[in-house]
Amino acid sequence: MAENKNIDIAGVSKTFKLSSGDLPVLNNIDLQIESGEFISVVGASGCGKSTLLRILSGLETATTGEVRIGERRVERPSVLTGVIFQESRLFPWLNVEQNIAFGIHQKIDKEQRVRSIAEHIELVGLKGFEKALPKQLSGGMQQRVSIARALINQPNVLLLDEPFGALDALTRIHMQNEILRIWDKEKSTMVLVTHDVDEAIFLSDRIVLLSNRPGEVKKVISVGLSRPRDRSSARFIEIRKEIYTHFFEDSSLSIEYYL
């Protein structure tokens, strides 16, 4: 299927109307994401990066500007755009299998359905846990279930909103490898929102730096390292330093001044 999975973000701004007045969150975001690309959006907390992702998903609408995914103008959520949140958001009353089955959108016969669920359980490495309830799983395993649920409709685009933010450091690194493996297999376009700079460098083709509120695109960095990436390689550290410089340029100036 030669489907167009480009994401085209054109002049997107978002202002929240509060009782205390208008709160601009995003300002004039322009960004083209190619089909099959892995993009990370990095920014300080409250810079509007999650809002940007919610606009891409169709859960929020932009105040001005528009988002297109392929030919479709994003106005409401679609099963062709999968979303993974920081919390796994599983239904506590359904077991692993049933939670994944909840994702299935189109009518398919029972045999195909069972096969598809089994394949996705296998894909996220949860074989043997089909009948477990969410509360019986660790945080990492719960997140795997939510990934399987998002993937079962074979979405063109996968949006990840700090998906590993609540996991411990070791599990997080493990899940980053898993998401690369899944990306390699599914070939979907990935947009990851994170505040973990290393995670962004480890995973992405390009990293978008957002400024503080209202969020604007400060810089787009191409990583250009071959995978699997070595977190301690010279280029890796160089990129990390570059990102830190962008975020802390003001404070580093003042430190130099006092030194």
Partner 1 sequence: MTSNLKNRFVKIGLGCVLPAVLILTWEILGRQGIINRSIFPYPTRIFETYLDMVRKGSIQKDLTVSAGRVIKGFCIGSSLGLGIGVVIGLSKTANSLAASIIGLLRPIPMIAWVPLLILWMGIDEASKVTLISIGTFWPVVINTSRGILNSDKKLLEVGTILEKTRFQMLTKVVLPGAFPFIFTGLRLGVSSAWTCVVTAEAIAAASGIGYLIMYARELSQPPVMFSGVITIGLVGLLLDTVLQRIEKHVLRWNETDGK
Q: Which of 105, 115, 187, 231 binds partner 1 (CB under 8 A)?
A: 105
Q: Counting contacts by CB under 8 A, is residue 59 touching partner 1?
A: yes
Q: Is 131 in the site for partner 1 (CB under 8 A)?
A: no
Question: Counting contacts by CB under 8 A, is residue 245 touching partner 1?
Answer: no
68, 72, 89, 213: residue in contact with partner 1 (rule CB under 8 A):
89
Q: Does 133 bind partner 1 (CB under 8 A)?
A: yes
Integer Cα distance of 121 and 145 in angstroms: 8
Nearer to partner 1, 60 or 242 (CB): 60
- The structure tokens 């399987």 sit at 148
93 scored as a contact of partner 1 (CB under 8 A): yes
Give 134 or 214: the residue with its C-beta nearer to partner 1. Answer: 134
**Distance (Å, rounded) from C-alpha 121 to C-alpha 133?**
14
Tell whether residue 87 is a contact of partner 1 (CB under 8 A). Answer: yes
Query: Long-range CB contacts (< 8 A, 24+ apart) of 123-130?
Result: 123/148, 123/151, 123/182, 123/185, 124/148, 124/151, 124/178, 124/182, 125/178, 126/96, 129/96, 130/95, 130/96, 130/97
Q: Site for partner 1 (CB under 8 A): which residue of 57, 116, 142, 194?
A: 57
Is 140 a residue that touches partner 1 (CB under 8 A)? no
Does residue 214 have a cis bond before it (omega within 30 degrees)?
yes
- Rounded to a whole number of angstroms, the distance between the first and last alpha carbons of the chain is 59
Q: Which is nearer to partner 1, 89 or 113 (CB)?
A: 89
How many C-beta atoms surround the C-beta of residue 167 within 10 A? 19
4 touches partner 1 (CB under 8 A): no
63, two tokens = 């105040």
Where does this chain bind partner 1 (CB under 8 A)?
A: 57-59, 77-79, 81-83, 85, 87, 89, 91-93, 102-103, 105, 133-136, 153
